[in-house]
Amino acid sequence: MSAPTRFFGPFRPNRPVRRYPGPNRPMRYPTPSGPTRYIPTAGLLTPQEEATQRRRAVDSRPRLPGGPAPGRLGFLSDPFLGPGLAVAALILWVIGLHPVPPSAIGGIGLIGELSVPTLLAYPVLIAAVVLELLRYAPRTWVMSAYTLVGVFFVYGLQPAVEEVARLPVSWLHSGFAEYIAGHGEVLEGFDARFSWAGFFSLIAMITKAAGIPNALSLLNWAPVVFAGLMVLGTRALAVSALGNRRASWIAPWIFLAGNWTEQDYFSPQATAMVMMLAALTLTFRHLVRPRLTEPVKARLRVRLAPRSSPKARLVAQGSVVLIGLGLAPTHQLTPFMLGLFLLLLLVFGRLWPAWLPFIVIGAAVVWFSLGAEDFWSGQLIQMILSPLGDVGSSVDQGLFSRLSGSPGHLIVLLVRIATSGFVAGLAALGIVFLRRDNLRSWMLPVLCAAPFGIAVVQSYGGEVFMRCFLYALPLMSLPAAIALERAITSARRLRWRNHPRRTLVAAAIPWLVLSLLTGSTVLGRGGNDAYTSVSRTDIDAMSWAVGQARPGERVDSLVNAIPLNYERVGEVEQSEVDMYCADLVHVPVLVDCLRGKGPDYLVLSGPQWAYVDILNGAADDYPQQLLRGLAETQLYRTVFDQDGALVLARGSAAVKNPQPDEGVAQ
């Protein structure tokens, strides 16, 4: 006999046969008395008799008690329905887009100017996502495509409808990079961000190698790139922490739908956030055991070796160290935040290399002490040690002092707070579910709450809670995804055929949650667009003023609602009037302040009027009052006027430019 194959064993004729003890009785099968659903021989019946037999076969199937006929909602399980909905959502989103000038945006932000088809595209896309998650095995390529489309829907909305890149601070970062590319060094004593010039140096190297003069062409779609990388990092983090399950697809969607902070523009913090997510993913995948959701006791003294190979652990440790070294000269807070996460993992006995958090924190401390000396020299006590423990000041600057402005702006602020609280509540619900599954560790809730400790150390210019929520959102997405996964699991167990109505209700829970989060994020991200989006004419006015100014002269805007310092950085001083004039609302007081401290060129534009109107409650005729007051002093005269963008020149600058340029209306 030949050797056994992989499917059959060798034949053994002498093998004893084991029978079930007891008498061997023949089995008798009952003869079917009613109509059968099977036709033994095809083609022997007439077409009418064959149709009758088939009808009886279908009618003979038992119906579910108290439920609708089978298959009434069975079309929802069709594998092509979800992709069809996604394509329909994409068509709705595209055909509903239209240019939105800054002058058309009110206090409630961009959402007030969006068309109905564009707004309908979001829940339709999320319905496709939920239907795919209800499948027996969600298709990876389909979920990846849905997520990519969702990134463009949420983060590509402003670049698609606005004329030029928004957020004046992103233009400022382009100017910093251009200065480094042109001079080969940072400008000392100019701005605190030059003390952490890693991002600007990288952009300077890229632009110089590409042969382009500056990074302005990268500004408009930078949020889509950075936010897409953050969503991808959250997906990788969820797979590393939770495993390859449905929750690891829901987590990136919670981040995508809940990230209203708008910290993904062309900035060092966006780059640092992507790097931190990469470091955490490597840590959770190769350097942590047990996982965050495993009900296994872990101790600091007796740590378990990770399940990955020694080579993978070595590569992960080296990569995290390199990321920590790269974060140190890039951003002020992110390297300390990464070090805090690693330190908490070590304290709870999950992190295998005990030295790793100290390397990351040590690199940040060394750079702060040596590389950022220009920042803290002479003001260490005032800026670092004074706010320590002053939580009330952080709460006032980061929360209560911001609750002001027009009714529409207050609605935007309340929606942002409600979105943050809702995500935190959803994460708390997921932690409760995990604890019911015998997960008694406090590791995950501590990691979610750790970023809010920044408020104890530093108010960070009033943006402290925004940064705290951004750092905590990827981690809060993990238990929040567990909570929504319970609803998905309940819907899958009920099945469309057995309990269609109950299945529909269970599936509607994640759809409703993600739809509400997406709508609130679209509202929150575009809530400031009345004064953070600019037109091409506004850019032309600022460029004209900066180009006309002599070295050492000053070009100011009324408020920070127009790009500054993206040209001639360090050569022409560029600032805002509200930095040295406290009262902007009362025109006589402002005119007196400008008479004594005013710049050589004053740039005024529509977004600045919207800023003063929405946030300071200025009168409707405020622009006319200010221009009339400045004209009466005969100190300033108009040298540039085009589509509402004005440049006023003072004294010798006005004599230098007695007439506006050709093609510019007076």
Dump the DSSP string for 80-115.
Answer: THHHHHHHHHHHHHHHT-----GGG-BTTBGGGG--
Q: In whole angstroms, what is the distance from residue 304 CA to residue 313 CA?
A: 13
Q: What is the dihedral of CA 121, 122, 123, 125, to 10 degrees?
A: 80
Q: In whole angstroms, what is the distance from residue 453 CA to residue 464 CA?
A: 10
- As given in the structure block, the two tokens for residue 205 are 């190297």
**pLDDT value of residue 3:** 47
What is the mean pLDDT for each group of 10 consecutive residues in the chain (666 residues)? 43 48 57 50 49 46 42 73 95 95 91 94 96 92 96 95 92 95 89 90 94 92 96 95 92 96 93 96 92 77 85 95 96 94 93 95 93 71 54 54 81 93 95 85 89 74 81 95 93 78 90 96 94 94 94 93 92 93 92 92 95 90 92 89 92 51 35
Q: Is 127 exposed, middle or buried (0-12, 13-18, 19+ CB in 10 A)?
A: buried
- CA end-to-end span of the chain: 105
Q: In whole angstroms, what is the distance from residue 653 CA to residue 666 CA?
A: 17
CB 66 within 8 A of CB 95: no
**β-strands 554-557, 573-576: how paired?**
parallel
- Fill in the amino acid letter for 109: G
DSSP count for the chain of H helices, then E strands: 27, 5
**pLDDT value of residue 391:** 52
Pick from 511, 438, 447: nearest CA to 250: 511
Determine the Cα angle at 484 with ends 272 and 257, to 5°. Answer: 40
**pLDDT value of residue 228:** 96
Phi and psi at residue 419, to the nearest 5°: -65, -45
Q: Is 635 helix (H, G, I), strand (E, B) or coil?
A: coil
**pLDDT value of residue 39:** 46
- Separation of CA 248 from chain center: 16
Q: What is the DSSP secondary structure assignment for residue 583, as one 8-state letter?
A: -
- As given in the structure block, the two tokens for residue 94 are 């595209």
- SS3 string of 321-389? HHHHHHHCCCCCCHHHHHHHHHHHHHHCCCECCCCHHHHHHHHHHHHHHHHCHHHHCCCHHHHHHCCCC
- Fill in the amino acid letter for 335: P
Q: Is 154 helix (H, G, I), strand (E, B) or coil?
A: helix
**β-strands 645-650, 636-642: how paired?**
antiparallel
Asked whether the bond before 290 is cis by omega within 30 degrees of 0, the reply is yes
- As given in the structure block, the two tokens for residue 38 are 């099977």
CB neighbours of 275 closer than 8 A, spacing ≥ 6?
Answer: 323, 326, 327, 330, 334
Q: What is the DSSP secondary structure assignment for residue 303, as one 8-state letter?
A: P
CB 320 within 8 A of CB 279: yes
Neighbours of 9 (CB within 10 A): 7
- Fill in the amino acid letter for 465: F
Q: What is the dihedral of CA 328, 334, 335, 336, to 10 degrees?
A: 130
Q: Is 641 exposed, middle or buried (0-12, 13-18, 19+ CB in 10 A)?
A: middle
- The radius of gyration computed from the CA coordinates of the chain, to the nearest angstrom, equals 32
Pick from 380, 361, 176, 151: nearest CA to 268: 176
**pLDDT value of residue 663:** 36
**pLDDT value of residue 215:** 94
**pLDDT value of residue 281:** 95
**pLDDT value of residue 270:** 95
Cα separations (Å) of 527 from 219, 416, 524, 610? 19, 10, 5, 12
- SS3 string of 5-39? CCCCCCCCCCCCCCCCCCCCCCCCCCCCCCCCCCC
User: Over the range 347-380, which residues count as b (16 or more CB within 10 Å of their CB) and which as e?
Assistant: ebbbbbbeebbebbbebbeebbeebbebbbeeee
Q: Is 574 helix (H, G, I), strand (E, B) or coil?
A: strand
Neighbours of 428 (CB within 10 A): 15
